[in-house]
Amino acid sequence: MSAIKGGFSHVPERISGIVDLADNLWWSWHPEARMLFKVLDRVAWKLSVHNPIKMLNNLGKEILDAAARDQKFLRYYDAVMARFKEEMITGVGWFHDNIAAPRNMSIAYFSAEYGLHHSLPFYAGGLGFLAGDFLKECSDLDVPLVGVGFMYPEGYIRQRMTHDGWQIGTEEPMERENAPISRVLDEKGARLTVKVPFIEPPVYVEVWRVLVGRVSLYLIDTDTEANDPWNRAISARLYIGNPEQRLRQEIVLGIGGAAVLRALGLKPSVLHLNEGHPAFAVLERIRERTESGMEYGEAFEQVRTTTVFTTHTPVPAGHDVFPFSMVEKYFNSYWPSMGLSRDDFLELGMNPGDPRPGFNMTAFALKTSGYRNGVSRRHGDVSRRMWQSLWPGLPEDRIPIDYITNGIHVPTWIEPKIHLLFNNHLGPYWLAEHDNPDLWQPVKDIPDEEIWRTHYRLKVKLIDAIRDRARRMWVDEAPDPRIVLASGVMLDPNALTLGFARRFATYKRATMIFHNIERLKRMLQDRWRPVQIIFAGKAHPDDDPGKRILQRVFNAAKSPSFFGRIAFVEDYDEQLAQYLVHGVDLWLNNPLPPFEACGTSGMKASLNGVPNLSILDGWWIEGFNGKNGWGFDTKEGPDRDLVDSEAVYEILDKKVLPTYFNVDDNGIPRDWVKIMKEAMVSVGPLFSARRMAKEYIGKFYQNALKSALV
C-alpha cells in the first residue's frame, strides 16, 4: 500500500529528494535539514512559518531551478540527504543492538492527540506533546513502532481575544495540501477505506500517514462521502463535548484504529494505550483471536499480557465514563462476537470505587492491560490510591501501577544556538548519548559570558517575535490599541522575565500571582529591578471558568496599573512554546497539587537554561535538587491560594531578584548563571524522552514482546 505526496512536479529531478525530506518530520529535529530549507529561500521559509511543504508548494520554479544549478547548495543538499537516508534505515539502531526481539515484532501506539509540529494542529496540550516526543524518540532509537491517531480536519481551536478579554475559539480548517501528510491508497490506487467493525449504522474511515523519521503515524479520518453527516463529524475536532459523539470518537479511534492496522497488513505484537481514549483497541485484539477459534479466556490473557497502558489524569472527573445504556447501544452485537455476555462485558468497565454507574475507560484499560503506569513518581502514588478498589485486598503500595516519569525530546526542544554551544564544549557526539548524565558535566565549565550572551540573544529574539505578532495584528485588524499593548509591545529585554504558558485549566491557577495586587505592582514597577510576566495559553472551548481566569489575566495585561509589564500572547502553540521556553528568564508554575500529573514545559525551559520556580508537584518533586531553580511545598487548607502565593512572592523577593540582579562589572549575574547551568545539567539527561523511552522498553515492551512469542 502506498501513500503519495503529489503536486511537486515543479521540483527539478536533481533536488527532488527535498520533497521527501519536507514530507518527513525528521527535518524538524535536525538543524542541518532546517538550514537547508532556510538557505533555499529565506523569505519563503519565513512566510511559510517554517513549514517546508507549504514553502515548496509556493516556491517558483525558477528559484528551484537555480538551486539545482548552484554547486554550493548542491553540496549541502547532498550532505543532508545522505544523513537523512542513513537515518531512515531500520533494524540497525539502539533497539536492535540492545533488545532481543525477532525482526517482525512491533508495537502499536495509540493516542488521541499528537503534538509534533505546529503545521499539524492535532494537540490540545501536554498529552499530545508527550506522544509526539515519544514517536520522535522511538525513531531515534529505531524502536519498531507505529502510531495511530486522528486526522482532525479542524484541528484544535485558534485563539482570538475580544477587547474585554473573552476567548473566542475560531476553527481554521487545516490546509491538507500544505501539511506533511499523505493519503494512504489501496492496491488499486484508490483511497484506502476501512469499515469500523460491528458498529451500526456503519462508519467508514480513510487513512493518512505522517512520517516521523523511521516511525509511521497513521491518522484516521471520518470525513468521507461514504459516511452520513453525523458520522463524518466524528473526527472533526479534538475532544467533542457531546458524550455520545465522544463515545463514537473513542470507538473509531480504538476499534477503527485496530481495523486500519489490519487493513495495512500490520500485526503489532504489543499495544500501548496512551491514556484511556483509545482503550477499545483491546477489544479488536481479543476479537481477532476468538474469531479464529481461541477461547475468550485465553484470548483475553494473550491480549492483556501484551498491552501497556499509561494513565495521565490524577482526578476522577477527568476520566471518561459513559452511561451503560449508551455503551449497550453500540456494543450489543460486539460482545457476542467475542463470546461474552452483556454483564461480563459491562463489568470490564466498572469501577467499584465510583458511586456513579457507568463504563469507565480508565478502569477498562487498567483491567485489560498487563503493564500500567502513571507519568511521575507522585502520579504513580496518586494513581495507586485512586484505583485501589480495582484490586480488593491488596494494600495500596502493592497495587500494580508503576510509574515512568515523562521526558521531552531533546533535539526538538533544545534551541539551535544552545545546541551549538554544547557541540563546541561537550564535543560533537553529546547528542548521541544525551541520556548519560556524565556527558553533561562539562556544561558547568562553559564560560559564564557565553551562556549569558546566548541567553540574552534568545530573550531579545522572543521579544522581537512577540512584537512582530503585535505589529501584524495592528496592521491586519486595527483592533482597540489597548489589545495591541496587552500583547506585549512594551516588553523590555532588561527586565527579569517570567513565563507562564500552559492550558488555562482552573487547577493551573494562572491568576495566583495576582493574589496580592499591591505587592505584585511594587515588584513590577521597581525601577532598578524590573520584573515582567508573559502569559500564554488557551482555555478549553467548553471551559467557562477557565475562560474567566484567562479574562482576568488579559485585563491585567491591558490595565495601565500594571505598567505595561504584563503581556498576554494569543494562540499558544508549538512555535510560541519554543520561543518562550528558550527566551524567558524564569518558568513559573503553581498548579494546585496533586493535579499536575507530570508537566513537561518546565523541562523544556530547564534544558535551555531557564530555571523553574514551581510548586513541588508532578515532575518537579523529582527534578528539583535545591540548586537548579526554586521549589516550594505547601499544605492543603482553606487558604491554599493565599499561602501558595505568599510562597511565590517570598521566593521572588528574597531569592530570585537578588540573584538575578547581582551582576559583576561585566554585567554578568554569576550566581544566576550557575543556576542556569545546574538546570541544564540536572534536567537535560534525566528528563529526556530518551530516558523515558528506554524505561518503557526495559520495564514493559521487552516483557510484553516475550509474552507475544508464547
Ligand X SMILES: *Cc1c(COP(=O)(O)O)cnc(C)c1O
Min dist CB 350 to ligand X, Å, is 31
Question: Which has the closest alpha carbon to 289: 277, 278, 301?
Answer: 301
- Nearest approach, Cβ of 123 to ligand X (angstroms)? 7
CB of 612 to ligand X, least distance (A): 10
Q: How far is the CB of 22 from ligand X (least distance, A)?
A: 22
In the complex with ligand X, which residue's Cβ is closer, 263 or 588?
Answer: 588
Q: Give the whole-angstrom CA distance, residue 190 versus residue 188.
A: 6
Helix (H), strand (E), coil (C) string for 537-576 = CCCCCCCHHHHHHHHHHHHHHHCHHHCCCEEEECCCCHHH
Q: Which residues contact 94 (CB under 8 A, 6 or more apart)?
A: 140, 141, 142
Helices and strands in the chain, H and E counts: 32, 21
Least distance (Å) between residue 89 CB and ligand X = 30
**To the nearest whole angstrom, how small is the minimum distance from the Cβ of residue 108 to ligand X?**
24
Rounded to a whole number of angstroms, the minimum distance from the CB of residue 165 to ligand X is 21
Nearest approach, Cβ of 622 to ligand X (angstroms)? Answer: 15
Dihedral of alpha carbons 58, 60, 61, 64, sign = negative
Distance CA 124, CA 238 (A): 8
Residue 170 in contact with residue 158, Cβ under 8 Å? Answer: yes
State the DSSP string of 380-427.
Answer: HHHHHHHTGGGSTTS-GGGSS-EE----B-HHHHS-HHHHHHHHHHH-
Name residue, grid cell 449508551: 326
Whichever of 203 and 536 has its CB closer to ligand X, that residue is 536
User: Cβ closer to ligand X: 126 or 685?
Assistant: 126
Residues in the chain: 710
For residue 141, which amino acid is it? L
Closest CB to ligand X among 550 and 577? 577
CB atoms within 10 A of CB 622: 16
Q: Which residues make up the interface to ligand X (CB under 6 A)?
A: 125-126, 129, 502, 572-574, 577, 599-602, 604
Give whichever of 277 and 538 is closer to ligand X, judged by the CB atom. Answer: 538
| Closer residue to ligand X (CB): 382 or 390 | 382
CA distance 249 to 242: 10
Choice between 216 and 600, CB closer to ligand X: 600
CB closer to ligand X, 502 vs 540:
502
Smallest gap from residue 545 Cβ to ligand X (A): 17
Cβ proximity to ligand X: between 285 and 604 the closer is 604
Task: Tally Cβ neighbours within 10 Å of residue 196.
Answer: 26
